[in-house]
Amino acid sequence: MNGVVKTHQPVIVVHGGAWKIPDHMITDSEQGAKLAALEGYKVLKSGGSCIDAVVKAVSSLEDNPAFDAGRGSVLNEAGGVEMHALVMRGDTCDVGGVLCIQHARNPVQVARIILDESPHCLLAGEAGLKMARKHNLPEENIDYFITDHVKEELKNFDKYTQAVDGLFNTNTGHDTVGAVALDCHGNLACATSTGGITAQQVGRVSDSPIVGSGGYADNESVAVSTTGHGESIMKVNLAKTIACYVEAGLAPKEATAKALKKMNSRVGGSGGAISVDTRGRVGVHFTTERMTWAKIGGSDVNGVVGKFVEFGCDATNVKKESV
């Protein structure tokens, strides 16, 4: 038989961050998530790999100033931008991550190059930028990343502790982006990217590039991308905890909710996560007031292949449009 047998219905889920998204930002946030999901789904629909799909989706989110990743990344205490990203593939458990990188237009693409080309899992700062330049990835002046919105955030939150509360409990601030996908070959992948938290110390590393915290993918369990207070996420290894619950028999939906509940009860942290397993079952859950998300593909409860993009910010207000 010629060609590759396709046995799975592709699925992609993206998120634009879990926090108290103000009403005036909902439309831009939802449309950005929807567009990113559509970009990733085009890759899957053409028979492309899940890793290509999540990188494509997250690159779209990084290019959108409505989100705290790539363009629109928040400012650290010195008024600079330091970005982080992670990609992981579930068939081999190979990982690529970049920490505290500057100038790279799409940190998630740098993470992908590290996954493919480096013997190391994580590279920081100049080492990551050197890898990006070696492979001619797009680079931007610092002014490209800084928006009026993030300048205002730094004025409002001149201390990291104030920003932590503000990011997740007030109308100011925005957060991590990510994507998870299942491709037609039955493989899983995740990608997560962030600019961190406003007024963070120079050199602070968020949960996003850390395997098992900001993301995790294993064909034997699930693909996960997380969002929320990074220190809390790292303390409980949120992404890996979700994977362990799936391995123990929970569906992604229940596993994601249970892990976020555990994080809140153990360390008082709030956030959100998206997940998908090799059966195409999806988990979307958050303990903040809102989290932007979008999903395309898979089958509904009646086994009908999805032909819609579902998206929203609120737990009870899910929108649906034809693909």
Is 297 assigned a ligand-binding role in the annotation?
Answer: no
CA–CA dist 322, 129 (Å, integer):
40
How many Å is the Cα radius of gyration of the chain?
18
* Res. 49: pLDDT tops 60: yes
From CA 284, how far away is CA 315, in angstroms rounded? 9
| Bridge partners (DSSP) listed for residue 320 | 310
On the question of pLDDT at 119 being above 50, the answer is yes
Sorted by where each begins, the domain ranges of the chain are 11-75+146-322
Do the annotations mark residue 173 as ligand-binding? no
Cα 265 to its chain centre, rounded Å, is 23
* CB distance 267 to 280 below 8 Å: no
Q: Give the right CATH number for 11-75+146-322 from 3.60.20.30, 3.40.630.30, 3.20.20.105, 3.20.20.80.
A: 3.60.20.30
What's residue 165's pLDDT?
A: 55
Mean pLDDT over residues 29-55, rounded? Answer: 97
Question: Residue 17 has what pLDDT?
Answer: 95
Place of tokens 């993301």: 215
Residues 151-173: tens digit of each pLDDT: 888 877 765 454 455 544 543 34
At 151 the pLDDT is 85
Residue 285 annotated as lining a ligand binding site: no
Kindly write down the DSSP assignment for every residue of 142-194, as one continuous string: HHHH--HHHHHHHHH--SHHHHHHHHHHSSS----EEEEEE-TTS-EEEEEEE
The C-alpha atoms of residue 167 and residue 263 are separated, in whole angstroms, by 17
Q: Average of pLDDT values for 5-18?
A: 90
- Do the Cβ atoms of 276 and 40 come closer than 8 Å? no
Which two tokens mark 205? Answer: 């590393």
> Is 229 annotated as ligand-binding?
yes
Per-residue pLDDT tens digits for 219-277: 999 999 999 999 999 999 999 999 999 999 999 999 999 999 999 999 999 999 999 99
Active site residues: 176
